[in-house]
Amino acid sequence: MKLKLELADPFWWLWAVTLAFVVAAVAGWTPGYYVVMAVSALQVIVFFVRERSVMAFPSQVRIVYFALTLTGLWSAVRLPFCLVLLLRTIMVVFLGRCSIALLLKHMPWNQNRAARLV
């Protein structure tokens, strides 16, 4: 796999900002969890408006990621789930690969859709 930084892509920057706050949250800065949730919610809204559908593949990816960030509200499982989010977000930011997208493309309602992040 090659390093894939897409500095000209504004959506890549949303993932990079998310990654920074996931790192901060895992490092012990509790408000970082809430910032990650807020940025993820913003991505859901942006992609819903852009794609005009929650069933659009990029919207689905953001909805699942946002749902995973909501586990940060449950303090007992906050750290393990954030470690998973950390790994997934690193994959998106540095490698251009998304494990959520890889999973979603195999869902029955996505069989005839192109898997894409943006």
| Torsion sign (Cα): 10, 15, 19, 22 | positive
In 3D space, the residue among 49, 80, 94, 85 whose CA is nearest the CA of residue 64 turns out to be 85
Distances (CA, A) of 22 to 43, 96, 110: 15, 17, 29
pLDDT by residue (tens digit) across 63-73?
Answer: 999 999 998 78
Q: What pLDDT is stored for residue 38 in this prediction? A: 95
Could you tell me the mean pLDDT of each successive run of 10 residues in the chain, 118 residues long? 83 93 92 93 93 89 92 85 90 88 88 68
Q: What pLDDT is stored for residue 44 in this prediction? A: 94
In 3D space, the residue among 109, 114, 14 whose CA is nearest the CA of residue 55 turns out to be 109
Tokens of residue 4, six digits: 């894939």
Q: What pLDDT is stored for residue 102 in this prediction? A: 86
- Give pTM, 2 decimals: 0.86
d(CA 78, CA 50): 31
Q: What pLDDT is stored for residue 112 in this prediction? A: 77
